[in-house]
Every structure is written in structure tokens, then in C-alpha cells.
Amino acid sequence: MVFRLSDVFLPSWEEAPGSLPDAEEIEGTVVDFSDSGSLACVFAVVEIVRRQTVIVPIERLRLVGES
């Protein structure tokens, strides 16, 4: 999956890998899903290349190579 660093929900993007600019897209692997209150599977737990796990809204993810 591909997403922008600014789309990371947890940790805040300021606490995520600091050397990456906000506009840069990041590639990662979905390793789990998380609910939001009564809504199921709203967030994806994504492991990024730097071996840091972040939580991203599913609606903000794109498949690699997708426009």
C-alpha cells in the first residue's frame, strides 16, 4: 500500500519518521486492521520500510502503482 506521511493517524505525522517530507508517499504492508468505536475496519495498521508501525485511515491507502 502507498500513503502520504500526512495521512498517518497514529503516531501523529510529526512523531513519524522525521526525515521524510510531508508530500512524499510511503510504501508499507498492511499487517492488521483497527476499529473506530462502533465502526469496524476504519484504520489499517501499516508496517513501513523503516520498521515502524503507523495507523492510517483505510480510505487514504492506495495499492502500489495505482493513480
Residue 32: its pLDDT value, please?
A: 93
Confidence band of 8 (pLDDT split at 50, 70, 90): confident
- pLDDT value of position 54: 80
C-alpha distances out from residue 26 to 5, 10, 52, 67, Å: 7, 15, 12, 14
pLDDT score recorded for residue 23: 52
User: What is the reported pLDDT for 11?
Assistant: 74
pLDDT at 17: 55
Distance CA 22, CA 5 (A): 6
Q: What is the per-residue pLDDT across 16-51, written as a single tens digit (0 to 9) for each?
A: 555 555 557 788 889 999 988 888 888 999 887 666
